[in-house]
Chains A and B, each alone.
Chain A
Amino acid sequence: MNMISIIFRREFANYFATPLAYIFVVIFLITNGIFTFELGGFYARGQADLLPFFSFHPWLYLFMVPALAMALWADERKSGTIELLLTLPINLHHAVLGKFAAAWALMGVALVLTFPIWVTVNYLGEPDNGVIAGAYIGSWLMSGGFLAIGSCMSATTKNSVIAFVLTVSLCFVFIVIGSPILLDSFPQWIPQFFVDSFAALGFLTHYDSVSKGVLDIRDILFFGVFIFAWLFASGVVIEIKKAN
């Protein structure tokens, strides 16, 4: 635990030692605003909730999270610091978890900084703040899922642009898997069971209910297992690829 926290602190502090964290957070807040107010029709709906805000998050994360995750391992391999890091008296999973946690914490910071919109909606009406809190947690969990994919893709290459493109593509796949457009296009003869289990892999299936404030333990479990699986895969990929 101690090693993870040391690596976490280094990584997290490093985001703020460079302009990266600031640029990331600012762009995140601006695009969030555009999505919510311009595309989501926040005012026009006349409802005191944050549904337009949260429903755009999967699409916002599709580009923002890979940008954050792409450097996680690709840069370590490119600069050779991976050799320094992994010859320190730590285990590989300390490094994988510490780095992931730092990026995830930055996502958390970005999300927390969207609080003005929560203030706004509380000023204008009387929203269910429990629903909003649940949706925040769900959104953060989903960003963790995206990040975990990004961690693994970043480990596959020395080139962070390639890592970015791979991550965006895979995240896109996991978004559309649960979308009705795709699910409706399945032929009739495929058993519903298959369609359901397929849909269960998609982010939207789990996020939709969460963003409406229904914090189901199964959805939380899904994101937990999803993150764990991709981080585990990151470890395996790093182990295989570190010598190249």
Chain B
Amino acid sequence: MIEISNLTKTFSDSVVLNNLSLVVEKGEVLGFLGPNGAGKSTTMRILTGFLSANKGTIKVNGQDLESNAVDVKKMIGYLPEGAPSYGDMTVISFMKFIGEIRGYKGDELSERINYVLGLVDLQGVSLQAIETLSKGYKRRVGLAQAIIHDPQILLLDEPTDGLDPNQKQQVRALIKSLSKDKIVVISTHILEEVTSVCTRAVIISQGRIVADGTPAELESKSRYHNAVTIKLLRPYDISEDLLELKEEFSIETIGNSSGYCVVSEKGESLFTSVSAIAYRKNWPIKEVFATRGQLEDVFSKLTQGAQ
């Protein structure tokens, strides 16, 4: 369990983290969201003991980070932003170095390295210098060093940044498979990542938490959650027919006059009643569907004006 309480961090005169408190339980995959400069990386860096906070405490599995830094660091696997690694080293010698620092020796060390390189599919390039590898491979080297000691806590700062769509899929699948009985914190600004891997999402803006819930809960905060999208074969004015609706609503046109979005003002589901009217009034329908809220909407609503 990670307990962050009242974390405050200032750089010269700007406040990066403002009294941030957060508890992450075992088994959670936490998506840590926020616009650039919101304090995501700073939080990660404080959590890993790289930076120290001005105020506040962090406890990891009951141990205080400040007084037991080395013990806490042993429990954590960390992929820093940009996945830095020693470019001159070969993949295998780099992994050996990290493994030794993590306390492995001899056969056990080679076993761990083989296992982890297999997991991230790096065996083919294990004898190459890291600087000669492509971005995707470098990222995987970063992931491999973070998981070599099977950490209870995995902190990944933008793990899929700059990867191609296939590589993103691979990395996400890997994170999912690793997340059992662990705490995984992923900082990202790619929202689809949160929906696909995370069990919980926290949005921070200007160093404060502005939203905290499951991805589905956050999506439902969107204005367009449960809205009905209607596409017609030819222009037709639906606004008069819709006056029959009991719920409060507003209509937005999509594109030309043959597409509409009916948004409930209170977030109720309108699909059944709207489709009933459509059927009765014989609208020239091409398609009708209920819209799911988009995390993007919630994200920009909550973090707008922050930059």
Contact = CB atoms under 8 A, between A and B. Distances in A.
Nearest to B41: A83
Contact of A90 (B70, B89, B93): B70
Given A83-B45, A89-B74, A6 B101 contact: yes
Contact of A17 (B70, B82, B89, B98): B89
Nearest to B84: A80
A90 B88 contact: no
A17 B101 CA distance: 20
Interface string B182-204: 00000000000000000000000
Interface string A16-40: 0110000000000000000000000
Contacts of B93: 13, 17
A87 interface: yes
B84 A3 contact: no
Contacts of A242: 50-51
Contacts of A18: 88
A87 B48 contact: yes
B75 to A, nearest CB: 9
B97 interface: yes
B86 A14 contact: yes
Interface string B57-84: 0000000000001110110101011101
A91 B49 CA distance: 11
B82 A80 contact: yes
Given A14-B88, A79-B84, A80-B84, A87 B49 contact: yes
Contact of A10 (B11, B78, B97): B97
Nearest to A91: B70
Interface in A217-244: 242-243
B73 A84 contact: no
Q: What bracket does the count of chain B residues touching chain A fall in?
A: 20 to 34
A14 B87 CA distance: 10
Nearest to B97: A10
A182 interface: no
A163 B76 CA distance: 33
Contact of B70 (A6, A13, A89): A89
A242 B11 CA distance: 12
B10 to A, nearest CB: 11
A86 interface: yes
B88 A17 contact: yes
A18 B130 CA distance: 13
Contacts of B48: 87
Nearest to B76: A87
Interface in A87-106: 87-91
Given A14-B89, A80-B82, A88 B101 contact: yes
Interface in B68-127: 69-71, 73-74, 76, 78, 80-82, 84-89, 93, 97-98, 100-102
Given A6-B97, A88-B101, A80 B51 contact: no
27 contacts: A6-B97, A10-B86, A10-B97, A17-B89, A80-B80, A80-B82, A80-B84, A81-B85, A83-B45, A83-B80, A84-B84, A86-B49, A86-B50, A87-B48, A87-B49, A87-B73, A87-B76, A87-B80, A88-B102, A89-B71, A89-B73, A89-B102, A90-B73, A242-B50, A242-B51, A243-B11, A243-B45
Given A14-B89, A18-B88, A242-B50, 6 more contacts: A3-B101, A14-B88, A87-B76, A89-B71, A89-B102, A90-B73
Interface of A: 3, 6-7, 10, 13-14, 17-18, 79-81, 83-84, 86-91, 242-243
